[in-house]
């Protein structure tokens, strides 16, 4: 297991970062490795983001000295979305089958968390976000809605929002997995945005939200293509070139928009002072510099 620590910085500092330093501070370049757990701990609201990829064996989520806890979720909650083959997440002995683009919220106090794949030739890839918690909420499996059907017992449908249009090349579907209308959490919010074919932009107009930070993870992007992720303060923007299955840390003071050379999907995870999805400080495109 790998546990990388990233420290916070003042927005004025980032104005002077070169490309290498920007990538070192904000980019999570590798999320998945076969039969391993790779995690990054950011001091931006103390979020943990990373990937779990069981192939030939089950992987258990242990604790780390930096957390100073007896087990990983002693004082944390966790959300995950599977972007690989069918897998199983076992929580204190209870298995949850998690398929492609299905999610799971795991409450504080869960002692044993184990990940496995159903088929080693098509391993699961569990992308996880975790943040501090003060109360234990029930574990919930979350999936995309199926028209005309009710979700299976014990499963919740995510909330879908269809935004953008082809003329602005930002037609997209926002799937809200961990949000108040779906399941309770202490501060974690998490979801997945799918960019329609022929569209390239996400999250326009740009915005910040001073009350919470965010992590973006881009996937379903061909290996030859890229996403130009925009960050920085509205009057001092910077960019990071990103590729498939990479994540980027976005502090509360930073915009977080991206445009791809191909359509793609991204997972967003937020934590901080509130969970109000539409609590945003919008920035007009003509005001960006």
Per-domain boundaries in the chain: 2-287
Residues linked to residue 180 through DSSP beta bridges, in sequence order: none
d(CA 264, CA 202): 10
74, 66 Cβ separation under 8 angstroms: no
- The SS3 of residue 269 is strand
Q: What is the pTM of this model?
A: 0.96
Tens of pLDDT, residues 75-98: 999 999 999 999 999 999 999 999
d(CA 194, CA 203): 11
d(CA 192, CA 268): 6
221, 262 Cβ separation under 8 angstroms: yes
Q: What is the mean pLDDT of residues 1-12?
A: 94
Pairing of strands 36-42, 2-6: parallel
Residue 272's Cα: distance from chain center in Å?
14
Tens of pLDDT, residues 203-228: 888 888 888 899 999 999 999 999 99
Would you state the pLDDT for residue 36?
98
Name the one residue in this structure whose structure tokens are 């007896």.
70
Structure token digits, residue 134: 């003060």
Model confidence at 280, pLDDT cuts 50, 70, 90, reads confident
d(CA 162, CA 238): 28
Tens of pLDDT, residues 172-185: 999 999 999 999 99
Would you state the pLDDT for residue 281?
81
Distances (CA, A) of 281 to 45, 73, 255, 258: 19, 32, 10, 17
The residues, any chain, with a CB within 8 Å of residue 65's CB and separated by 6 or more, are none
Would you state the pLDDT for residue 66?
93
DSSP H/E element including 50 = strand 48-53
Angle at 173 between CA 145 and CA 29, to 5 degrees: 110
288, 45 Cβ separation under 8 angstroms: no
Model confidence at 235, pLDDT cuts 50, 70, 90, reads very high
Peptide bond into 205 cis (omega under 30): yes
Flag whether pLDDT at 8 surpasses 80.
yes
Would you state the pLDDT for residue 185?
97
Tens of pLDDT, residues 248-265: 999 999 999 999 999 999
pLDDT above 90: percentage of residues in the chain: 89
Averaged confidence pLDDT in the chain: 95
The correct answer on CATH 3.10.20.30 for the domain covering 2-287 is no
């Amino acid at each position: 297991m790998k546990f990388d620590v990233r420290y916070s910085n003042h927005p004025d500092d980032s104005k002077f970062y070169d490309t290498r330093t920007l990538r070192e501070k904000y980019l999570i370049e590798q999320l998945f490795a076969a039969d391993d757990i790779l995690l990054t701990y950011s001091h931006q609201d103390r979020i943990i983001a990373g990937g779990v990829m069981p192939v030939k064996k089950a992987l258990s989520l242990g604790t780390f000295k930096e957390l100073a806890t007896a087990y990983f979720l002693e004082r944390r909650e966790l959300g995950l979305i599977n972007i690989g083959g069918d897998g199983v997440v076992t929580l204190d002995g209870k298995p949850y089958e998690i398929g492609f683009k299905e999610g799971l919220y795991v409450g504080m106090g869960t002692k044993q968390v184990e990940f496995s794949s159903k088929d080693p030739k098509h391993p699961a890839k569990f992308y996880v976000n975790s943040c501090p918690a003060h109360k234990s909420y029930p574990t919930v499996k979350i999936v995309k809605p199926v028209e005309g059907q009710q979700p299976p017992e014990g499963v919740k449908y995510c909330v879908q929002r269809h935004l953008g249009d082809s003329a602005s090349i930002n037609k997209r579907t926002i799937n809200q997995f961990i949000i108040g209308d779906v399941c309770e959490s202490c501060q974690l919010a998490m979801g997945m945005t799918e960019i329609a074919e022929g569209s390239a932009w996400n999250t326009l107009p740009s915005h910040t939200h001073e009350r919470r930070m965010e992590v973006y993870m881009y996937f379903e992007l061909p290996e030859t293509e890229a996403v130009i992720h925009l960050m920085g303060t509205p009057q001092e923007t910077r960019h990071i070139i990103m590729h498939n299955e990479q994540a980027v840390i976005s502090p509360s003071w930073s915009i977080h928009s991206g445009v791809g050379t191909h359509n793609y999907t991204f997972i967003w995870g937020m934590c901080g002072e509130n969970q109000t999805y539409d609590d945003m400080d919008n920035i007009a495109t003509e005001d960006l510099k």
